[in-house]
Structure 1
Amino acid sequence: MALLSFSRSFTLLSSPFHFFSPRSISRRRSFVCSLSAATDVRSRSAVLWFKHDLRLDDHPALSAAETHRFVLPLYVFDRRILSRYSDDMLELLLFALEDLRNSLKEQDSNLMIRYGCAENVIKELVKEVKATDVFIEEEVEYEMRQLIGVVKKTLETSSSLDWNPDIVMWRTPFYDVKNLKELPASYNDFKKQKLLPTSPLLPATLPVVETELDWGPLPTFSDLKEFIKGKLGKSKESWNLMKEMPAEVLLKENLSKSSETIPKSLNDKSIEQRRRDKSVFVTRKGDIVGGGTNTLLNALASYLRYLEGTARDDWQEVHERLRNAETREGASFTSLFSPALCLGIISRRRVHYEAIKYEKERNAGFLSPFGYSAASVAAAADAVCSMEWFWLLALKSQVSNEGLYSIRIWRWRGHLIQYTVVGLEGPAILLVHGFGAFLEHYRDNINAIAEHGNHVWGITLLGFGQSEKPNVVYTELLWAEMLRDFIIEVVGEPVHLVGNSIGGYFVSIVASLWPSLVKSVILMNTAGNVIPEFSSHRFPSERQTSAAARLGAQLLLFYLRLNIRNTLKNFYPTKTNRADDWLINEMLRASYDPGVTVVLESIFSFDLSIPLNYLLEGYEEKVLILQGMKDPLLDSKAKLAMLKEHCTGLAIRELDAGHCPHDEQPQKVNSIICEWSSGSLNPAYKIAKFEIEESFIGLTSYRFNLKLTCQSVHDHGNVIAISISP
């Protein structure tokens, strides 16, 4: 029997919570959690709040809580959490909760289901069961960390509680990292530490629940959707609907004028059919693995053993989906298992443990120093190691203040994305970087623009900087969909979209496909062409990368690492000192991240054939072109001439700069962007503003109380609505 001690003395600096991190263990039947030196843990009771840890296997909090006198497992259907989920994720959630409840019932426990605000639900249950501890898994996402803070504050300040329950924050450590603040910034340096992954914990056994409690029913999918819509409002609901239509479908519709239909909404009948079929692909689309932990482990075993073949129907289904999802080498694991990992139905270190165990079985108990013997093993092990690295980077950014800006984390399709925001009010401006850059490339822009009364957002796109670099096929449409979802889920209002280089092409796609999200477009040395009289486009049925693209990406990465200083200096012809050590080191750091070669492959498969003059149609007087005239990548004069000729209503500013004018001439660019967002550079805005002021002056002379509602003048139609009440 092995004993594991979870010490409350281990804390993270700059955090108000207590933490424990279990280390590796091979076999155990009981654990000791030293929550308080003066209190017998067996006299304590706990509420364990499940969020993204929907499992009994490898669950450190359950292992710590199993010696308590009483443990109340809880899941709260909170709209603030659920509104972030797609329909597929909601389906997975319901299956996972059903399995979790059944597993707990087998231990004579149960899973309590509640609806509402988590802080209020937890407070009332703590009072009802007289809980001394509340176990909460640590999160890296900004919104989730904010929610946990609200829960903590509610418990601390509640007048209905005569005691302050301990908030026990926990996580499932993949590596035994002693101090997050000392985590190397480079993955290359991190690997040199040669930390071994910790072993997963066996399922805990909780105390029998003898108290009579109302455990609450699990909702149907339809009921859950209605619950989420309850307080969204029509505008928010219509915005959320935009996320259901892929960018490629919209482009095809716009180009062919065909009547593609939105995928039918899910219903309980289709979900119940999956239950009867006992398929591990439980969603209506049938392309991601779901269910409970045991189902996931079975699917994982099948995935790892792909090369062996099988006569089992359920494994054959996994193998078929694997082949369909293998758009590039190893991409199938992320495609099939990432959503379940996001919900915590299975832990990352359990996946790694099972993959390595199978690899040893194939090789007489040994691991080859030359790599894995099966591509499926490599895909699974590499994916979870990569996920863990970016999770550590994200967590470090939340507990330390080393960067230029305060970093927040947003989870998009299961992947961790860095962003920042400065300013509390004013026009919303979203800054989008170019290829190989990151949000800090706007190092001298974000604060300066915000100081002039703007609400400025900066984002590091998927695959760049310290945002996650999953094994997926990267396309211009993928990044455009990411920007769309960021505006909808995070910004929450229409924005002035600013893009540099390939980022300019991405924002042009967003403006074309989802105009209600965009006030105006500012393009700085943008990628993309101008094609007169463009009318049609043929889309490839599926994007896949080739062996030539993979080789090209590796060679390109090698070249860039050797020549990054000279390459950057060429991009800054008038101020070469701006290509400084900080910028070079940040780009070099990112070049060693796992997955970077996958991102570089996209250079060989970009489809920029939809021209700018087509994408910017309907944005007359709402597009500003900022062009560094000394850009080494293109003929700036020729490009501006084509834009002037074939795009009507453009505002153009020529700058004495290279490819990145915002970083080479930040003061000039900041001034122009601020003037643009305030409307002083936009003729349409001037007219609308003048009419509003004239009306206001006339009405106030009659002492009317004026309530003025003006839709942004950069929106389509320049609608101005004035309501007057005496």
Structure 2
Amino acid sequence: MDFSGVRATLRSSCGACHSVQTRRGPPRRRRPRSGTFLGASRADPSAESCSNEGPCLFWFKHDLRTTDHPGLIQAAKAAKGGALVPLFVFDPEVYSPWEESEADIQWYREVLMSLKSKLRALGSDLMFEIGKAEEVVPRICEELSASTVVTQRETDVVWSGKLDVIAKRIPSGSALSLYTYTLIGQNTGWSYPLSFAETKEWDLSGPVEAVGRIKSPEGASPGRDIPSADDLYDAVVEAWSGFWGEANPIPEASSFPYRSAYCSPEILSKVQGSEFVLSGAHEVVANNLNRYFAAFRGDQPRPESLESLALDLEVPGGFGQSFNVLFRKHLSQGVLSPGEVYLAASSFKANLNPLSALFSASLKGANAAMAEAVKYDFAHNLHQYSLERERMLDAGGDGAVDLSYESWRWRGTHQEFIVGSPSGEQGEGEGKGKKVVLIHGFGAFGEHWRENVVGLVRAGYTVYAPTLCGYGRSEKASAQYTPQLWSLFVRDFITSIVKSPAVLAGNSIGGYISAYTAAKHPGLVKGLVLVNTAGKLVEEVAELPFEEVAIKDEDSGFEAFRKTVVAEVGSRLIFSYLERSVSGLLRKAYPQFPERADAGLAKEIERASSDPGAFDVFKSVFYLPPPTPLSNLLKEYEGPVQVFQGANDPLNDAPARAKQMKELCGVEVQLVEAGHCPHDEVPEAFNDCLEAFYSSLLTL
């Protein structure tokens, strides 16, 4: 990829890679059972070196390229005698047939074949293995008598768990060396700012030096041939065969074949019948990226081309989502580094005709790419190093509660969640298998259920509190955020992380999302608890057609323009007001006990509002089409439902609304003296209500 014309604006890349070396494994984030959460401590750079004189093993995971690759440079320098063995392990357990389709796996295979070709051009090859990474990597390490295993530091909870096991299993004479990548600023490796504003004083990292010829060890075998995409997909399905069955069937193939696209299905329906195929070949990807930038210059694109698809995916309230549908996979799997994406876009803008550059629409694709590269890099490093800093959960000091903050890669983005479970023997008793998933409301985050998580864990439950994509410390990737997209997130979270049916509880819009998930995927949900939920109630339960966007095709040019101006200007004014008024507005939502709307809650909401992309997530709400009524969803679900309603909700007539839900939908209702967030205002009452509801399910 050509970086000419932009290198001069970038600093040296010496801070782009941080290396940690340890004899037996990576430094762990400490999670004391006392409930005090500490960030990672910096490893001693003078850690004991390995005793083996064998080759260096470089393990590719989410860094499937040979350019702008600090880890590969690190591995080349660590190689004893210059010998280096590149390895890729296809671990079926880390993929999911609910999140990846046959087309997604075909794309992965094409990437690996392209990477293999790139490595051969450097005098090496890609050793391919299939199986559980925690079994394969130590075995290969022992067979090669590897001196060092170099691989990327992990954020994802599944990959991190496997890396921890590998650290314990690699031979005693080998060292495990981790690297990380940073686009913005010099990464010290152990301290990353919570606020994006702090990074604005930093420069961008330039591309690292290109790796030279790679020396392979004498007699090294390239491993097995890369199997067909069908065989790889079958391995993924087989790995998950014992979990769900008929309760959660694998989705049918859709018109847009890539199940991993970060986009709502109603938006992807725009490209129905498109024959466009995402490429995994590195040279083609680089060319496609430049075609994407050029798609917004105003030329008439060929039907079903990349350019046509990019324009179709750009809808009001979803600026930049075309990049995430077309290139998020390449960014998250490291086919392109964040730096390569950012610099390619910068180069396009620098070389654009000055007259064309006057029209901002011509820069739309390049600006979207630059924004997504920054969002990805910030979220990635925030989740690596600062996910546990300045949090609110307190597990107490008796060791009865295990709590942790975790990161999960969903559709190429970084999402955070809290998981709490009874520790030790308490977790193996009658409460084992009692799972609850808590979904927060608009603008909040998983910790809004702080005392519910701890209280329910003490009562014997395993509790999950994810932060919805676009909120809290979850990544705010560009998309038109809709209940459908958030519902897919909840569906996949239960499928891949919880891995068994659970009681699903939600507050405000989180209640509506929970109801939508339960209605569309009832096999995932044991029961539903709605806490001052959003959603329209109608007496006539007839399906309301979901309109694709708030701006309709039949709108006149002036009407569409008027709606856009109202949404853009109105959302900006309201967002600015909310940023300045968080504490006061929170206290109004807690009329009985306003002191519960404390500084910690307000501080995290304010922090999240400064994340890159936060305003675009907020703005997308102004473009939401009319959703399916809540009463429809509850009729469709047909399962047990409990309503926990704060009677003093300042947003509506809560008692009348609770009565209407009971009459229309036949649900159980408990009114309490509290406001819009009764689960946090009177947490003991909510916990008691949920426990009673869960107990009632056991008698059904």
TM-score, length of structure 2 as denominator length? 0.81
Structure 1 partner of 2:327: 337
Distance 2:182 2:18 in 1: 17
Instruction: Compute the displacement of 1:611 (Å).
Output: 2.4
Residue type at the aligned position of 2:178 = M
Structure 2 partner of 1:169: 178
Structure 1 partner of 2:197: 188
- The answer to whether the Cα contact below 8 Å between 2:481 and 2:621 also exists between their aligned partners in 1 is no
Residue type at the aligned position of 1:380 = A
What SS is found at the alignment partner of 1:464? Answer: coil
Counterparts in 2 of 1:419-498, with a 5 A limit?
A: 419-423=417-421, 424=427, 425-498=432-505
Residue type at the aligned position of 2:456 = I
State yes or no: 1:390 paired with 2:374: no
State yes or no: 1:515 paired with 2:522: yes
Could you tell me which of 528, 531, 536 is aligned with 1:529? Answer: 536
Structure 1 partner of 2:41: none
What SS is found at the alignment partner of 2:181? Answer: coil
Structure 2 partner of 1:291: 280
Instruction: Compute the displacement of 1:200 (Å).
Output: 4.2
- The answer to whether the Cα contact below 8 Å between 1:578 and 1:663 also exists between their aligned partners in 2 is yes
- The answer to whether the Cα contact below 8 Å between 2:183 and 2:339 also exists between their aligned partners in 1 is yes
Structure 2 partner of 1:652: 669
Q: For residues 361-405 of structure 1, give each alpha carbon's deviation from its aligned partner in whole angstroms, at most 9, with x where no partner exists.
A: 3489xx99x999722221111110111111122112457575525
Structure 1 partner of 2:399: none
Distance 1:443 1:461, change over 3 A: same
Distance 2:280 2:470 in 1: 29
Distance 2:594 2:388 in 1: 34
- The answer to whether the Cα contact below 8 Å between 2:244 and 2:500 also exists between their aligned partners in 1 is no
Structure 1 partner of 2:224: 216
Distance 2:414 2:49 in 1: 40
Structure 1 partner of 2:424: none
Instruction: Compute the displacement of 1:552 (Å).
Output: 2.0
Identical aligned residues as a percent: 28
Q: For residues 587-606 of structure 1, give each alpha carbon's deviation from its aligned partner in whole angstroms, at most 9, with x where no partner exists.
A: 11111111112211233233
Distance 1:630 1:400, change over 3 A: closer
Counterparts in 2 of 1:551-630, with a 5 A limit?
A: 551-607=569-625, 609-617=627-635, 622-630=640-648
- The answer to whether the Cα contact below 8 Å between 1:289 and 1:340 also exists between their aligned partners in 2 is no
Structure 2 partner of 1:22: none
State yes or no: 1:50 paired with 2:60: yes
Instruction: Compute the displacement of 1:657 (Å).
Output: 0.5
Structure 2 partner of 1:374: 363
Task: From the CA coordinates, give the structure whose radius of gyration is larger.
Answer: 1
Q: For residues 134-186 of structure 1, give each alpha carbon's deviation from its aligned partner in whole angstroms, at most 9, with x where no partner exists.
A: 1111111111111111111111xxxxx5x421111112221233445543322
Distance 1:520 1:336 in 2: 37
- 5+ residue gaps, structure 2: 1-10, 29-44, 259-271, 394-402, 422-426, 552-562
What SS is found at the alignment partner of 2:473? Answer: coil
Residue type at the aligned position of 1:207 = K
What SS is found at the alignment partner of 2:305? Answer: helix
Counterparts in 2 of 1:274-423, with a 5 A limit?
A: 286=275, 289-307=278-296, 317-327=305-315, 328-362=318-352, 374-397=363-386, 402=391, 404=393, 406-423=404-421
Distance 2:74 2:20 in 1: 16
Distance 1:113 1:230, change over 3 A: same
What SS is found at the alignment partner of 1:17? Answer: coil
Distance 1:35 1:131, change over 3 A: farther
The count of aligned residue pairs is 622
Instruction: Compute the displacement of 1:449 (Å).
Output: 1.0
Distance 1:482 1:3 in 2: 39
Instruction: Compute the displacement of 1:656 (Å).
Output: 0.3
TM-score, length of structure 1 as denominator length? 0.78
Distance 2:255 2:243 in 1: 21
RMSD: 3.5
Distance 2:615 2:15 in 1: 39
- The answer to whether the Cα contact below 8 Å between 2:255 and 2:273 also exists between their aligned partners in 1 is no
- If asked which structure has higher relative contact order (CA below 8 Å, sep 6+), I would say 2
Instruction: Compute the displacement of 1:436 (Å).
Output: 0.6
The answer to which of 442-451 and 194-203 deviates more is 194-203
Instruction: Compute the displacement of 1:497 (Å).
Output: 0.8
Counterparts in 2 of 1:83-98, with a 5 A limit?
A: 83=96, 86-87=100-101, 88-98=103-113
Could you tell me which of 136, 139, 147 is aligned with 1:132? Answer: 147
- The answer to whether the Cα contact below 8 Å between 1:339 and 1:414 also exists between their aligned partners in 2 is yes
- The answer to whether the Cα contact below 8 Å between 1:421 and 1:457 also exists between their aligned partners in 2 is yes
Instruction: Compute the displacement of 1:105 (Å).
Output: 1.9
Q: For residues 683-710 of structure 1, give each alpha carbon's deviation from its aligned partner in whole angstroms, at most 9, with x where no partner exists.
A: xx4xx3xxxxxxxxxxxxxxxxxxxxxx
What SS is found at the alignment partner of 2:87? Answer: strand
Distance 1:399 1:640, change over 3 A: closer
State yes or no: 1:75 paired with 2:88: yes
Distance 1:406 1:663 in 2: 20
Structure 2 partner of 1:250: none
Structure 2 partner of 1:702: none
State yes or no: 1:63 paired with 2:73: yes
Structure 1 partner of 2:268: none
What SS is found at the alignment partner of 1:560? Answer: helix
Residue type at the aligned position of 2:452 = N
